[in-house]
Amino acid sequence: MNNKPKFLADAMLGNIARKLRLLGFDCKYFATINHDQLLLIAKIENRILVTKDRNITNICKKQNISVIDLSNTDETSQIVEIYKKTNLNKCKIDMNDVRCTICNGIVQSIEKEKITSRIPDKVAQNMQQFWICNSCNQIYWEGTHIRNLQKFIDEVNERL
């Protein structure tokens, strides 16, 4: 899907940035960034700014920058809010379409043999499919994280 929305999460929303990346969205996030820089990136890169900050929301509206002003505080409700406000009606995870949770890089599948030395023995024995981030080389596999995420996704879908 090339018409997926691109996001920019503000500095308070690191968890949401990581979730959106796992769900396959290009979502930029900087732990330390000032408001001017944040607004500039949203504007130049045509990203939807996700924030809980009223001031940022107001500036976005004045400057015609797409913004989602989250009103909920729990992660599930926040993701539901983002999906509803961008007219996305199905939440899913596709490991061939995830972004790196650490750096937002593109993640691609990789043969186990190439990364065996970098993963725990137990994982190497039990898992067959692996993915690696093109940018930071982080390795991913379908372990506990993905199972927990599936539960999260089910909860989101029930509310969409």
Interface residues with Zn ion (CB under 5 A) are 100, 102-103, 105, 133, 135-136, 138
CB of 104 to Zn ion, least distance (A): 7
Residues 6 or more apart whose CB falls under 8 angstroms from that of 47 comprise 6, 7, 8, 28, 41, 66
Pick the closer one to Zn ion by CB: 86 or 138.
138
CB of 21 to Zn ion, least distance (A): 9
Q: DSSP assignment, residue 47?
A: P
Longest dimension (CA), the chain: 55
What is the C-alpha separation between 27 and 21, in angstroms, rounded? Answer: 6
Pick the closer one to Zn ion by CB: 57 or 137.
137
Pick the closer one to Zn ion by CB: 76 or 138.
138
Pick the closer one to Zn ion by CB: 88 or 93.
93
Instruction: List, in sequence order, every residue forming a beta bridge with 83; answer none if it has no partner.
Output: none
CB of 101 to Zn ion, least distance (A): 8
DSSP line for 83-135: HHHTT-------GGG-B-TTT--BEEEE-HHHHGGGS-HHHHHH---EEEETT
CB of 69 to Zn ion, least distance (A): 28
What is the C-alpha separation between 101 and 138, in angstroms, rounded? Answer: 9
Pick the closer one to Zn ion by CB: 65 or 133.
133
CB of 1 to Zn ion, least distance (A): 20
